[in-house]
Amino acid sequence: LNPRTGICVTHDNKMIVIVVDGRSEASGGLLIQELGELMQTLGCKDALNLDGGGSTAMIVDGFVTNHPSDKTGMRHVTSAVMVLSKTKPKKTQETITI
């Protein structure tokens, strides 16, 4: 199954960015329907599936936080979603193993 990337807003107006690794023995990936079900389970009210596959990557504070599926490492891509804050955000990054 494929790596997936999604972003959503929960019922209490929190933003969740989801990156799921795939195509490896360590992570099986998800079907798009499974990503939608995961987002619903996390309380998302509005959600968007972003580009997946080999371009799935998440960088937090300059560090890659997942394991991109391409054998050569992270792909160069022409678009990205950036989350910026005017104030120093609290460290609330969580990793969920599926």
Structure confidence by residue, pLDDT tens digits, 45-85: 999 999 888 889 998 888 988 998 988 888 888 788 888 87
Q: What is the pLDDT of residue 98?
A: 52
DSSP 14: -
Structure confidence by residue, pLDDT tens digits, 38-56: 999 999 999 999 988 888 9
Q: Which long-range contacts (CB under 8 A, 24 or more apart) does 51-60 make?
A: 51/5, 51/77, 51/79, 52/2, 52/3, 52/4, 52/5, 53/2, 53/3, 54/3, 56/3, 56/4, 56/5, 56/19, 56/20, 56/21, 56/22, 57/19, 58/5, 58/17, 58/19, 60/93
